[in-house]
Structure 1
Amino acid sequence: MILGGDKYVWLVWALAFLVPWRAMYIAFPGQRRIMLLSSSLTSLFGLTEPIFVPRYWNPPSVFDLGTAHRFRY
């Protein structure tokens, strides 16, 4: 169980992925520059999260029968 409920679940998993990244960063010194470059470039995709996540996180459901979005099946 995550302390704070679902509020920090994204942060916890992001930090969990940081652990193997850091281990590989230390283990492969020849790849450090490309790791930093690719990580920097892909981190920009995180800025688009507020645009896409609200629609993804609350999708219409068959069992909700569209009442929240006012459409019928």
Structure 2
Amino acid sequence: MARPSPWPEKVMALLRAGNPAAAIAQIKVAPSVRELQALEKALAAAQLAGRWRDVDVAIAESQQALSAPRLHRSP
């Protein structure tokens, strides 16, 4: 079984520290859709989903961009 990525927890730490601008910057360079989905689950579990509208928009835009076949990022 693969070890979970530490990326979502790092972004959650930025949000908990009150730095949504830094979290948005990290979300825009997210490694994959899987990490973004893990971040969404972590936000929901911490009951923080919907607290920062800009963060929610950045997550949705990044998921859409990474899902598009032409905009694939190489590892």
Name the TM-score, length of structure 1 as normaliser.
0.31
Name the TM-score, length of structure 2 as normaliser.
0.30
Higher relative contact order (CA 8 A, sep 6+): 2
Q: Pick the structure with greater CA Rg.
A: 1
